[in-house]
Amino acid sequence: MKPSALAFRVGLFVLLGIALLVTSIAFVLGGQIFTSREQVVMRFSGSVYGLQVGSPVVFRGVTIGSVTGIGLALNRQAERIEIPVTAMLDREKVMLLGPPQNSVAQALAHLLDQGLSARLASQSLLTGQLYVDLDLRPTLVKPGPTNPATAVPDIPTLPSTVQALQAQLEGVDLKAALQDLTAIAKAARQILQDPQLKATLTNLAGLSAELRTLAQSVQREVKPFSGAAQATLAQTSSAASALAQAGERIAQVAQRLDATLAPDAPLLQSFQRTAGELALTAKNLRNTTGNDGELMQNLNRAASDVARAAHQIGELADLLQRQPDALLRGRTVEP
């Protein structure tokens, strides 16, 4: 084989190996090489045991980055040891978390104003591995400062649930609590061993039996009375319904009377017209039957005429009695 052909094959093999290596790295890193990323720092005050380089950074269940470094530092102002954890966040995902911004720095500043904070959470109870949990907690934290030298956003941190519980337990005085429990147990033992308490419990047992007997007697006595009371209540209910129906009927009659006796009702207007006509008739009768009325004067003249006619008839009767033939011969002059 010629040397040139051998060199070509070796070079081709090396190129294929490099390509395969790059492809494997890209596959393992999940395409993170070609992703635009933003660096942030989180300063934890408690233990981060279980957190490793490469641990995911998650925002409400969605992985938006990974841990790139875990350090150790002394905060001289707060006089405490801190563990700065650096992470790289996906810029595109960070830009999606807030309103449209011109840069990732502005998007992170907006999220910090909204209460963005970091907390360690457990990936698995068996392995004990941790991850960084990001979320908006405006009521728990305040926006953290930005490092002016590196301009790296500083995300505030909160203790994990286990750390918070541990801090509460450390604040409890277990010795005093045990002493209080011992004193309570001793006092309870003395109370239980008191003979007066035993006598009281015995009396209470007897009293309970008597009360049970009394309750049974009262139940037997009250059962007939309860039946009678229920019957009385039923009768009262029926009477109340009858009274309610009568009240409704009375209300209907009252409404009808109101409608009939209303000022503009036809019946009342007819009564008023009849009363007016009767009053006018009575007035006419008074005027007619008065002493100076025309009817009375006519009656007086008629009575006078009747009286004169009666007088003349009386005279005619006397004349016929004296002169029976006066109707045939005429009246004769009496001497």
Q: What b/e readout covers 193-208, taking b as 16+ CB neighbours within 10 angstroms? A: eeeeeeeeeeeeeeee
The helix/strand/coil state of 233 is: helix
Element (H, E) at 246: helix 195-260
Between vectors from CA 173 to CA 168 and to CA 175, what angle results, nearest 5°? 140
Q: What pLDDT is recorded for position 142?
A: 61
As to burial, measured by CB atoms within 10 angstroms (0-12 exposed, 13-18 middle, 19+ buried), residue 66 is: buried
Tokens representing 63 are 């992985």
Q: What pLDDT is recorded for position 298?
A: 75
Q: What pLDDT is recorded for position 254?
A: 65
Tokens representing 275 are 């009363």
Q: What is the pLDDT of residues 57-84, one digit of tens each?
A: 999 999 999 999 999 988 888 788 899 9
Distance between CA 16 and CA 27 in Å, rounded?
16
Specify the pairing of strand 37-44 against strand 154-155.
Answer: parallel
Rounded to an integer, the average pLDDT of 99-104 is 76
Given a cut of 50, whether residue 224 has pLDDT beyond it is yes
Q: What is the pLDDT of residues 251-269, one digit of tens each?
A: 776 677 666 656 666 655 7
C-alpha gyration radius of the chain: 63
Boundaries of every domain in the chain: 28-168
Given a cut of 70, whether residue 331 has pLDDT beyond it is no
- Catalogue the E-assigned strands of the chain: 37-44, 56-59, 62-70, 73-75, 80-90, 116-122, 130-136, 154-155, 157-158
More confident residue, 112 or 180: 112
Instruction: Tell me the whole-structure pTM to 2 decimals.
Output: 0.44
Size of the chain in residues: 335
Specify the pairing of strand 80-90 against strand 130-136.
Answer: unpaired
Distance between CA 328 and CA 324 in Å, rounded?
9
More confident residue, 140 or 120: 120
Q: What is the pLDDT of residues 145-168, one digit of tens each?
A: 544 445 678 999 998 877 777 766
Rounded to an integer, the average pLDDT of 76-96 is 89
Tokens representing 306 are 């009747």
Q: How many CA atoms lie within 13 A of 296 on its CB side?
A: 9
- Tell me the CA distances in angstroms from 191 to 27, 143, 177, 178, one per residue in order: 74, 57, 21, 20
Q: Are 160 and 121 in contact (CB under 8 A)?
A: yes
* Pick from 81-90, 108-117, 118-127, 234-243: least confident: 234-243
HEC string for 119-183 = EEEECCCCCCCEEEEEEECCCCCCCCCCCCCCCCCEECEECCHHHHHHHHHHCCCHHHHHHHHHH
**CA 92, 94, 96, 101 torsion: positive or negative?**
negative
Look-up of token digits 């007088």: 311
